[in-house]
Amino acid sequence: MHRRPSHKHHGGLWEFPGGKVESGENPRNALVREIQEELGIALEIDTLTPVAFAEESPNEGLRPIVIMLYKSLWSGPMPQALEGGEVAWLTPEEVTQLAKPPLDVELASRMLEKA
């Protein structure tokens, strides 16, 4: 889990690492890129397995926000919080106890159901 820097939106809350899909990317490619940028680790796209998703109803005139949770095999150096904040490895039960943004609360609940 990644704790967002206090000066950012949802500052101080814990979230699953990741980010936005850029033009021309699919969600898996975006996740591999974002994890490299945020944590300094390289994921193999073939090891990504979908776990859950959460969706926020759109505000008028805005597109809905959809976040997807994947699991992956990984080995290598320990992740670093390269964009600020803090990183922690936690059990699914521990993740549910953290203060999180609403969509991450939903993802954590769905992850625990599948654990």
| pLDDT value for 77 | 87
Q: What is the pLDDT of residue 91?
A: 92
pTM of the model: 0.86
CA count, 13 A, side-chain hemisphere, 81: 14
Q: What is the pLDDT of residue 76?
A: 84
What pLDDT digit, counting tens, does each position of 9-19 carry?
899 999 999 99
- With CA atoms as reference, report the closest residue to 68 among 6, 111, 8, 9: 111
* The pLDDT of residue 56: 85
Are the C-beta atoms of residues 18 and 41 closer than 8 Å to each other? no
The reported pLDDT for the residue numbered 60 is: 66
By mean pLDDT, which of 20-24, 26-30, 54-58 is the weakest? 54-58
CB atoms within 10 A of CB 55: 12
Strand 86-87 and strand 2-3: the pairing is: antiparallel
| 90 sits in which H/E element | none
> Measured between alpha carbons, how far is 99 from 13 in angstroms, rounded to an integer?
5
Number of domains in the chain: 1
For 32-73, write each residue's pLDDT tens digit: 999 999 999 999 999 999 999 999 876 766 778 889 999 998
What CATH code is carried by the domain that includes residue 94?
Answer: 3.90.79.10
Expressed as residue numbers, the domain containing 18 is 2-114
